[in-house]
């Protein structure tokens, strides 16, 4: 350094002087070091003040009321036939499998006077007792028919064949009240009651039919619907009521007309099967958002399913069996079925204010229980949540995980 060179040009200092100068130099360097250290600390503190680390966003809390449901309406018949189900290759009770996977709600259909015991009031009450003992919430789906009710079939019970007007409205009320009373007498609390099944064109045809040439009939349909809803709430005001529509197209028209008729209910229930209701989950999400915005009602996907294979396990013609019927992103495989399930749940989770209340897989247990050559077996054994050896599939785990 220049200063050192200057010192050596002069005469040699004394020993004391050398010691003094060395001490001064050491002190000077120490001061410089401390100043630099202080400057660094100050600079770091300034940086924190100017550009703070953003806080970690909170993890969203899952909706404790989210419905993770299965429609097990076939179960009494299937189990009575001695059908066995498996979890990870080990035989287990199907209800215990569902419970282990996180399923919390079981949906059951009810027919007025069916030709067999299946879906009769006695069967449904008895099975509900078993479900309640396992800790499941119970969702009752009243068809108001002796057999299947859907957008193309809404036939009145034979017992009401000649009923119309005030008598038919009273029949809806009295019947629904008796159903509620049967559950209450058995000590069973119902979580959800669905008044009608897939009532796109109304129910109890033709008195309660709507749409097309019957579009001036909304008052009749609404009055009968109100009687069913009234009977449910009179039985237990805590029961959630649902009105069910199949698909997303036309849903706004349907629920708008219910609003015009001042029909009060708790949940919008929708069926969503890609084979019939569209192959875009984005479009589904947009439709659900629109329904929530317009009607301020929570939404439940009341029915859905998707294939884990396009093959078959009996001789009964399957509903779903062509590659063209699939959503391209989700192949007909166990992994594709699981991915579809996760994606559908994600659509519901993204709805505002936790208004996506859950979903229910339709007939997850309807395996080919009548044997491989049965022509009257299952038409949807490739859409179940159990494979062709009746072993639980990954989609069942995903459905119960949220």
Residues 6+ apart with CB under 8 A from 196: 142, 143, 144, 149, 203, 225, 228, 243, 244
Q: In total, how many domains does the chain have?
A: 2
Measured CA to CA, the distance from residue 3 to residue 1 in angstroms comes to 6
DSSP string over 202-243: BSSBTTTB-SGGGTT-HHHHHHHHHHHHHHHHHH-TTSEEEE
Residues 364 and 259 in one domain: yes
Q: Does residue 392 form part of some domain? A: yes
Which residues, listed in sequence order, are joined to residue 242 by a DSSP beta bridge?
Answer: 194, 267
* Residue 165 region by backbone torsions, left for phi larger than 0, else alpha for psi between -120 and 50, else beta: left
Task: Flag whether pLDDT at 14 surpasses 80.
Answer: no
Task: Supply the mean pLDDT for the chain.
Answer: 88
Per the CB < 8 A criterion, the answer to whether 355 and 299 are in contact is yes
Rounded-to-integer distance, Cα 49 and Cα 41, Å? 13
Among 303, 338, 365, 381, the active-site one is: 303
Domain hosting 186: range is 67-401
pLDDT of the residue at 84: 98
Q: For residue 286, is it within any domain? A: yes
Assess whether 40 and 89 both reside in one domain.
no
Place of tokens 């069916």: 114
Tokens at 23, concatenated: 């001490």
Helix spans in 86-196 (H)? 94-101, 121-133, 165-185
Distances (CA, A) of 316 to 107, 180, 256, 257, 382: 25, 36, 40, 39, 11
Are the CB atoms for 43 and 36 separated by under 8 Å? no
Instruction: Locate 16 and state its tokens.
Output: 């004391």
DSSP calls for 270-306: EE--HHHH-S-HHHHHHHHHHHHHHH---EEEEEE--
> Does 381 qualify as catalytic in the annotation?
no
Q: What is the pLDDT of residue 63?
A: 57
Statement: residue 38 has pLDDT above 90 = no
- Name 202's bridge partners: 209
Per-residue buried b or exposed e for 279-310, using 16+ beta carbons within 10 Å of the residue's own CB: eebeebbebbbebbeebebbbbbbbbbbbbbb
Q: Are 239 and 233 in contact, with CB atoms under 8 Å apart?
A: yes
Residue 156: predicted pLDDT = 98
Nearest to 140 by CA among 240, 268, 68, 247: 240
pLDDT digits (tens, 9 = 90+) for 367-393: 999 999 999 999 999 999 999 999 999
Percentage of the residues of the chain whose pLDDT score is greater than 70: 84
Residue 348: its pLDDT value, please? 97
Per-residue confidence band for 65, with pLDDT thresholds at 50, 70 and 90: confident
Question: Are residues 46 and 134 located together in one domain of the fold?
Answer: no
Q: Is 392 helix (H, G, I), strand (E, B) or coil?
A: strand
Q: Say which range, 19-28, 61-70, 213-222, has the weakest mean pLDDT.
A: 19-28
End-to-end CA distance of the chain: give it in Å, rounded.
72
316 part of a folded domain: yes
Residue 245 contacts residue 269 (beta carbons within 8 Å): yes
Is residue 56 assigned to a domain?
no
Band of residue 256 on the pLDDT scale cut at 50, 70, 90: very high
List pLDDT tens digits, range 314-335: 999 999 999 999 999 999 999 9
Q: What is the pLDDT of residue 64?
A: 66
Q: Is the pLDDT of residue 7 over 70?
A: no
Q: Which of 139, 148, 121, 150 is nearest to 69 (CA)?
A: 139
My answer on whether 295 and 344 are in the same domain is: yes
* 16-30, 60-74, 232-246: range with highest mean pLDDT: 232-246
* CATH code, domain carrying 336: 3.20.20.80
Same-domain pairing of 186 and 275:
yes
Is 138 found in the same domain as 23? no
The reported pLDDT for the residue numbered 402 is 78
Q: Quick check: is 60 in a domain?
A: no
At 34, the pLDDT band (50, 70, 90 cuts) reads: very low
Q: Is the pLDDT of residue 53 over 70?
A: no
Residue 391 bridge partners (DSSP): 86
> In terms of pLDDT, which residue wins out, 128 or 48?
128
Assign 166 to helix, strand or coil.
helix
Average pLDDT over residues 84-96: 97
* 330 domain residue, yes or no: yes
**Average pLDDT of 78-102?**
97
- Does the active-site annotation cover 365? no
Which is more confidently placed, 104 or 402? 104
| 347 and 380 within one domain | yes
Question: Does residue 57 belong to any structural domain of this protein?
Answer: no
**Cβ contact 183:127 at 8 Å:** no
Catalytic residue among 198, 207, 227, 338: 198
User: At residue 215, does pLDDT exceed 50?
Assistant: yes
Residues 41 and 106 in one domain: no
* DSSP secondary structure, 136-163, as one string: -EEEEEE-SSSS--BTTB-BPPGGGTT-
Average pLDDT of the residues in 354-373? 97
Better pLDDT: 186 or 29: 186
Does any domain span residue 61? Answer: no
Same structural domain for residues 356 and 383?
yes
- pLDDT tops 50 at residue 58: no
> 119 and 197 in one domain?
yes
Strands 105-110 and 67-71: parallel
pTM of the model: 0.85
Judge if 104 and 216 occupy the same domain: yes
Same domain for 99 and 24, yes or no, is no
């Amino acid at each position: 350094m220049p200063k050192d060179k200057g010192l050596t040009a002069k005469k040699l200092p004394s020993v004391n002087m050398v010691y003094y100068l060395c001490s001064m130099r050491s002190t000077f360097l120490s001061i410089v070091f401390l100043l630099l250290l202080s400057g660094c600390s100050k600079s770091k503190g300034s940086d924190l003040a100017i550009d703070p680390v953003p806080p970690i966003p909170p993890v969203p809390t899952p909706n404790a009321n989210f419905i993770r449901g299965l429609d097990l309406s076939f179960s009494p018949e299937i189990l009575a036939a001695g059908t066995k189900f498996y979890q990870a290759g080990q035989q287990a009770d199907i209800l215990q499998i569902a419970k282990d996977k996180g399923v919390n709600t079981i949906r059951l259909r009810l027919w007025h006077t069916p030709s067999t015991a299946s879906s009769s009031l006695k069967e449904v009450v008895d099975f509900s007792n078993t479900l309640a003992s396992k800790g499941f919430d119970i969702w009752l789906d009243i068809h108001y028919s002796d057999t299947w009710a859907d957008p193309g079939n809404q036939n009145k019970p034979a017992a009401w064949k000649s009923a119309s007007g005030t008598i038919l409205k009273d029949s809806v009320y009295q019947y629904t009240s008796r159903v509620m009373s049967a559950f209450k007498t058995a000590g069973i609390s119902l979580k959800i009651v669905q008044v009608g099944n897939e009532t796109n064109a109304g129910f109890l045809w033709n008195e309660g039919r709507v749409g097309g040439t019957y579009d001036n009939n909304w008052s009749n349909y609404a009055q009968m619907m109100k009687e069913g809803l009234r009977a449910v709430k009179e039985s237990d005001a805590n029961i959630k009521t649902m009105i069910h529509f199949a698909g997303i197209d036309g849903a706004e028209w349907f629920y708008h007309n219910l609003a015009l008729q001042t029909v009060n209910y708790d949940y919008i229930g929708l069926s969503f099967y890609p084979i019939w209701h569209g192959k875009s989950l984005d479009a589904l999400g947009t439709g659900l958002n629109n329904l929530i915005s317009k009607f301020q009602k929570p939404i439940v996907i009341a029915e859905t399913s998707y294939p884990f294979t396009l093959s078959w396990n009996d001789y009964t013609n399957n509903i779903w069996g062509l590659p063209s019927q699939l959503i391209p992103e989700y192949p007909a495989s166990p992994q594709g079925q699981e991915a579809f399930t996760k994606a559908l749940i994600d659509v519901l989770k993204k709805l505002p204010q936790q208004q996506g209340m859950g979903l229910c897989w339709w007939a997850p247990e309807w395996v080919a229980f009548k044997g491989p050559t049965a022509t009257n077996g299952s038409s949807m054994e490739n859409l179940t949540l159990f494979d062709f050896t009746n072993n639980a599939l990954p989609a069942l785990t995903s459905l119960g995980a949220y």
